[in-house]
């Protein structure tokens, strides 16, 4: 089955810096890769996603890149703000079947003012 | 759009009692919903996949007789933790997949504490 690894487990940056979180997946059949932000005591919130027919996607300060050959994808946050502090999860799934998401282990991002 | 609600947001119960958690997609139809549990500082663990009008599919190691799932309509799935014990205390989160799309939208979670 699919296995998703995520690094780093914690990331501390200064406000205004960029943050990069990386994930690798094992199943070459996976073709949908969402990123979720989870604040303390809340459910995960979808912040951006990418499909395997696209190499990069941007939404304001957030971007995701995908390298299908290497089977890894990354989340890039530019001009970080204290409110970006949260736990970020990557995930992978296929478009067929039940389309279960397999999650990474999470990255705790702390943005200091 | 794409709002998912859960009720209750938190519940405290005595050992041996049953607890029902509701998951609703408020502004879209969801033939498929998912139930996860999350322990502190850990990732989400899929418990089961719930499909409207059919039996849920449970992940390996999840007791289907203990975690009863009902998906009676295109906007509502329920998870009942039967005969709850302290080790069942956790954060339970549902998600709903919008019909025709791959995105999953998560509810706010339910914190269950079993005394």
pLDDT at B26 over 80: yes
Tell if the CB–CB gap between B43 and A100 is shorter than 8 Å: no
Contact assessment for residue A12 and residue A112, using Cβ atoms and an 8 Å cutoff = yes
pLDDT at A85 over 80: yes
- What is d(CA A25, CA A33) in angstroms, rounded to the nearest whole number? 10
pLDDT at B97 over 80: yes
Spatial CA neighbour of A113 closest among A87, A73, A70, A80: A80
Closest-CA residue of chain B to A108:
B41
pLDDT at A97 over 80: no
Rounded average pLDDT over B75-79: 95
Banded model confidence at residue B102, pLDDT cuts 50, 70, 90: confident
pLDDT at B103: 83
pLDDT at A83: 96
User: Could you tell me which residues of chain A have a Cβ less than 8 Å from any Cβ in chain B?
Assistant: 32, 34, 36, 41-46, 49, 51, 89, 93, 95, 98-101, 103-106
């Amino acid at each position: 089955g699919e296995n998703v690894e995520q690094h780093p487990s914690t990331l501390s940056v200064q406000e205004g810096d960029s943050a990069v979180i990386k994930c690798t997946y094992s199943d070459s059949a996976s073709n949908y890769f969402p990123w979720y932000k989870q604040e303390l005591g809340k459910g995960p919130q979808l912040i951006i996603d990418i499909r395997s027919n696209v190499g990069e996607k941007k939404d304001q300060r957030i971007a995701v890149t995908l390298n299908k050959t290497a089977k890894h994808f990354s989340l890039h946050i530019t001009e970080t703000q204290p409110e970006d502090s949260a736990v970020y999860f990557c995930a992978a799934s296929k478009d067929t079947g039940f389309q279960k998401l397999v999650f990474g282990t999470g990255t705790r991002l702390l943005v200091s003012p | 759009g794409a709002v998912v609600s859960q009720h209750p947001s938190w519940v405290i119960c005595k050992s041996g009692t049953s607890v029902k958690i509701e998951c609703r997609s408020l502004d879209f139809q969801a033939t498929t919903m998912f139930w996860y549990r999350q322990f502190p500082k850990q990732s989400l663990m899929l418990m089961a996949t719930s499909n409207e009008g059919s039996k849920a599919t449970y992940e390996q190691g999840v007791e289907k007789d203990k975690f009863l799932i009902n998906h009676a309509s295109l906007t509502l799935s329920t998870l009942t933790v039967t005969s709850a014990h302290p080790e069942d205390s956790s954060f339970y989160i549902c998600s709903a997949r919008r019909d025709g799309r791959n995105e999953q939208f998560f509810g706010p979670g339910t914190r269950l504490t079993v005394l």
